[in-house]
Structures are given as structure tokens and as C-alpha cells.
């Protein structure tokens, strides 16, 4: 049985940990409001851009002369999995769920005879992917110095992916991130980003729209912007999901620390009471002996 000094030390240690988890929970809750607002504000723009893309794509015939980002390479052999993680831990299963979804897709692609490569964003999750696919890491994007994801980071990632695509490094790219629903629910999401899937027209219109210049030129200019917007939206969703998962995980940790403190306190009081009782018995026995 632990001594009274050891029990008291453990109680103080758990109390210190509880203060840290409580502070982390409050910080995550404060960041969550801003991150959630940013993610929700980006959704209408991405949706409207998809509608414009759909309208343009419906007016052209995809051929070998179409933009490569839309037409593809004509092959489906090498698949690049773009896995977006965070650089910080203490967020529950946020990062591991994204990595798990990417690994499931990677095994499915390999089972169908495809070659799988990885493009890793953020530090968390890299060790697991390296352990499973040590020779399949095509590139990495470090976000250590970035306080919050911005359009600049999305633009750099998109431009690098386009360069790799045009260099023939892969045929299809899939983006893995976490869609934010609420502080308790973050859903791992997979999305094909290269070649850009031809969006479907969701609204019917009787109006006739004439484009100047022609649809293919506008589409060629919009495709890189569309790719950047999708990556930017994924980074915003990831940031909101990370803060929500962190807040929930730290709340659970704070509660668990409180339960452990109560258990250790009861054990400490019982041990102290037993020690006092033993001392009293010894004093009484000594007095009777005299």
C-alpha cells in the first residue's frame, strides 16, 4: 500500500494536471467559436463556385484538348492520398480517425492493383503512415509556423499538387480531412480533388448565358481557383474539428482527473485514519503495560 506521503504527492500531481486540462479546454472553446465561424462562412462560396463550374462544364465536351485538371491524364494507375492533419496533439481521436480513413482507402486501392503515394499535411499522423508505407511518401507540407490555416497555405499546397500532377507523379489525388459538425462530432471525409470531378448542375434555369471568352478558357482559369478553394475549405473544417475535438477531450480529461482525485482522497483519508488508529492502539497498549 502506498504511504501517506506518496498518496499526497499523487493527489497534488493530478490536481496540477487538472488545472492544465481545464485551461486547455477553455482555450480550445475560445478558438472553436472563431474556427467554426470561418468554416461555416467558407461553405457558401465553395458551393456557389461549384455551381458555376457545373454550369460551365455542362456546356463543353470533355476531350484531350480540355484542361488537364478536368480531363485527367487518361490513366488511373497512381493515386495520391493528401492527408491533412494538425501539428498538435491533445485532440482525442481527431488525427487518428483521418489517418485510419486514408489507410483504409490505401489498402482498397492496392487490392485493386493501384499504386498509392502520400502527400502529408501537418505532423500528427506521419509516424503511422511512415510505419505502414515507408517508401510511399511523395511530399510533405509543414504547417508548424502557421498559427491558423489561411488561403496562402491552401494556395501553396494546391500549386505544389498541380506541379506534381503536371510532372506525371500521379493520376488521381484524394483529399482526406475532417468535416466539422459540432464539438462532439467530426466526420473523416474523403474527396477527389484531381482531376476535378465534373460538378453536376443542381438548379435548372431557363435563361441563356453567353460567356466571353468561351467556356473552356473560363473553365481553365477557374479550375486552379476551385482546387485552392476546396483545399482551403478542408483546412478550415480541419481547424474547427481539431478545436472541437480538443475541447471535448480536455473536458473528459478534467472530469477523469476529478474522479481520480476523489478516489485518491478517499484512499488517503482511510490510510491516515488507519495510521492514527494504529498509533492509538500502540499508546493504549503501552499504557496498560506500565
106 confidence band (pLDDT: 50, 70, 90): very high
Q: Residue 16: its pLDDT value, please?
A: 92
Q: Residue 177: its pLDDT value, please?
A: 92
Largest CA distance in the chain: 114
pLDDT, one tens digit per residue, over 265-283 is 998 888 888 878 887 787 8
The span from the CA of 126 to the CA of 117, in Å, is 13
Within its chain, how far is the Cα of 199 from the centroid? 25
Domain ranges of the chain: 4-21+250-289, 42-249
Residue linked to cell 488517503: 268
Q: Which residues face 120 on adjacent strands? A: 83, 140
Q: Residue 63: its pLDDT value, please?
A: 60
CATH architecture of 42-249: 3-Layer(aba) Sandwich (3.40)
256 pLDDT more than 90: yes
Tell me phi and psi for residue 272, to 5 degrees.
-65, -40
The span from the CA of 186 to the CA of 158, in Å, is 24
pTM of the model: 0.81
Q: Residue 70: its pLDDT value, please?
A: 75
Collect all residues with Cβ–Cβ distance below 8 Å to 205 and sequence separation of at least 6: none
Helix (H, G, I), strand (E, B) or coil at 179: strand
pLDDT, one tens digit per residue, over 157-203 is 999 999 999 888 999 999 999 999 888 888 899 988 888 876 565 55
Q: Residue 221: its pLDDT value, please?
A: 80
pLDDT, one tens digit per residue, over 26-63 is 998 988 988 889 888 888 888 888 777 777 766 666 66
Q: What percent of the chain has pLDDT over 70?
A: 88
Q: Residue 201: its pLDDT value, please?
A: 54
Q: Residue 66: its pLDDT value, please?
A: 66
User: 172-180 and 78-84 as β-strands: parallel, antiparallel, unpaired?
Assistant: parallel
Cell numbers for 2: 502506498
- The secondary element (H helix, E strand) that includes residue 180 is strand 172-180
Degrees to nearest 5, angle at CA 88 with 179 and 254: 90
Amino acid at each position: 500500500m502506498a504511504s501517506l506521503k506518496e498518496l499526497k504527492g499523487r493527489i497534488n500531481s493530478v490536481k496540477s494536471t487538472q488545472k492544465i486540462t481545464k485551461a486547455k479546454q477553455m482555450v480550445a472553446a475560445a478558438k472553436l467559436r472563431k474556427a467554426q465561424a470561418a468554416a461555416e462562412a467558407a461553405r457558401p462560396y465553395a458551393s456557389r463556385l461549384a455551381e458555376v463550374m457545373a454550369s460551365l462544364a455542362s456546356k463543353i465536351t470533355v476531350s484531350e484538348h480540355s484542361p488537364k485538371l478536368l480531363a485527367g491524364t487518361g490513366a488511373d494507375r497512381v493515386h495520391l492520398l493528401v492527408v491533412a492533419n494538425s501539428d498538435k496533439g491533445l485532440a482525442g481521436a481527431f488525427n487518428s480517425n483521418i489517418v485510419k480513413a486514408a489507410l483504409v482507402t490505401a489498402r482498397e486501392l492496392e487490392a485493386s492493383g493501384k499504386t498509392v503515394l502520400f502527400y502529408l499535411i501537418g505532423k500528427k499522423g506521419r509516424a503511422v503512415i511512415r510505419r505502414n508505407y515507408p517508401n510511399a511518401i511523395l511530399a510533405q507540407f509543414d504547417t508548424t509556423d502557421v498559427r491558423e490555416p489561411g488561403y496562402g497555405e491552401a494556395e501553396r499546397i494546391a500549386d505544389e499538387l498541380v506541379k506534381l500532377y503536371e510532372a506525371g507523379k500521379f493520376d488521381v489525388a484524394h483529399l482526406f480531412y475532417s468535416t466539422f459538425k459540432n464539438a462532439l462530432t467530426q466526420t473523416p471525409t474523403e474527396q477527389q480533388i484531381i482531376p476535378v470531378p465534373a460538378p453536376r448542375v443542381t438548379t435548372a434555369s431557363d435563361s441563356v448565358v453567353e460567356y466571353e471568352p468561351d467556356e473552356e478558357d473560363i473553365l481553365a482559369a477557374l479550375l486552379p481557383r476551385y482546387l485552392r478553394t476546396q483545399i482551403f475549405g478542408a483546412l478550415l473544417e480541419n481547424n474547427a474539428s481539431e478545436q472541437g475535438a480538443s475541447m471535448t477531450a480536455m473536458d473528459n480529461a478534467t472530469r477523469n482527473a476529478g474522479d481520480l482525485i476523489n478516489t485518491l482522497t478517499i484512499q488517503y483519508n482511510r490510510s491516515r485514519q488507519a495510521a492514527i488508529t494504529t498509533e492509538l492502539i500502540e499508546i493504549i497498549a503501552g499504557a496498560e503495560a506500565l
